[in-house]
Amino acid sequence: QARLVESGGGLVQPGESLRLSCAASGFTLTSRIMSWYRQAPGKERELVTRITTTGTTTYVDSVKGRFTISRDNAKNTMYLQMNSLKLEDTGMYFCKAGVAEPTYWGQGTQVTVSS
């Protein structure tokens, strides 16, 4: 059974950093396009970044130069390094496996940026 578990969220001040993790089990994450989404209160879930099976990455404009998606194949884990965090980065962050069904979602990890 495929499963994704996020961790690493927390409360930080503007300008600080966090690294989120997404541990995969039941499948090999390099076999799927993997994504990070976030959802701020009262807003729709948005795609933040994506990494393809060949390692190509894309980012939403608002995080370019600040966030980095990566994966550790040996640990079957994906990461999101978030630097220079801003108030507007606050939200629940989810990892997702795949773009075509079947897709899998993690339960999310909360990131709060507050002064």
Instruction: Give the C-alpha distances (Å, rounded to integers) separating 38 from 18, 27, 74, 96.
Output: 14, 23, 26, 11
What pLDDT does residue 53 have?
95
Rg of the chain over Cα atoms, rounded to whole angstroms, equals 13
Ramachandran sector of residue 62 (left: φ over 0; alpha: ψ -120 to 50; beta: rest): alpha
What pLDDT does residue 76 have?
97
Mean pLDDT of the region 30-49: 96
Q: What is the pLDDT of residues 54-90, one digit of tens each?
A: 999 999 999 999 999 999 999 999 999 999 999 999 9
| Residue 17's pLDDT band (cuts 50, 70, 90) | very high
What pLDDT does residue 13 have?
98
Q: Measure the CA–CA gap between 7 and 24, rounded to whole angstroms.
A: 12
